[in-house]
């Protein structure tokens, strides 16, 4: 069984990509999280693209690199994901898992700070 057949059955969102972000292969479950596409850049939130560029520009055959990125899901929501990539033979093995425990300021806390600023 070759690696592309095995990749389909990985139980989390997994991509095989090139240095320019072209998706060569992905796990089946990836499609329940993200819109099908040919390039990883289509799902990365615009303001997180600089972080993604740094991540994708790591040396090939290097240690895994992890970065928290906001990705657009198939229902058009932007959600924080923990993305880890490792390069082997110019192919990036990218795993993205939903980062549920990350502190992201809630709308309510932002509203409170705005009210406090206006009252102060």
Q: What is the pTM of this model?
A: 0.78
Q: Which residue has the higher pLDDT, 76 or 6?
A: 76
Host domain of residue 49: 3-119
Look at 75 and 105; give whichever has higher pLDDT: 75
Q: How far is CA 23 from the centre of its chain?
A: 13
Share of the chain above pLDDT 90, in %: 56
Q: In the prediction, which pLDDT does 7 show?
A: 81
User: In the chain, how many domains are there?
Assistant: 1
Which strand (E) or helix (H) includes residue 51? helix 49-56
Contacts of 100 (CB under 8 A, 6+ apart): none
Please give the pLDDT value at position 115.
Answer: 56
pLDDT of residue 45: 95
Q: Say what the pLDDT of residue 6 is.
A: 78
82 to 31, 63, 75, 110, 111: CA distances (angstroms): 17, 16, 19, 23, 27
Give the DSSP H/E element, type plus range, for residue 80.
strand 78-88
Nearest C-alpha neighbor of 22 from the set 10, 44, 39, 1: 39
pLDDT digits (tens, 9 = 90+) for 36-78: 889 999 999 999 999 999 888 877 667 899 999 999 999 999 9
Q: What is the mean pLDDT of residues 85-89?
A: 90
Q: What percent of the chain has pLDDT over 70?
A: 78
CB 95 within 8 A of CB 14: yes
CATH number at residue 55: 3.30.450.20
């Amino acid at each position: 069984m070759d690696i592309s057949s095995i990749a389909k059955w990985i139980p989390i969102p997994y991509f095989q990509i090139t240095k320019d972000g072209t998706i060569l292969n992905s796990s089946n479950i990836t499609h329940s999280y993200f819109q099908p596409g040919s390039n990883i850049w289509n799902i990365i939130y615009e303001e997180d693209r600089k972080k993604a560029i740094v991540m994708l520009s790591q040396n090939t055959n290097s240690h895994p690199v992890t970065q928290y990125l906001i990705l657009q899901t198939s229902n058009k929501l932007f959600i924080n994901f923990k993305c880890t990539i490792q390069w082997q033979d110019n192919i990036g093995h990218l795993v993205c898992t939903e980062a549920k425990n990350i502190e992201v300021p809630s709308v309510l806390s932002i509203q409170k700070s705005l009210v406090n600023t206006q009252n102060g």
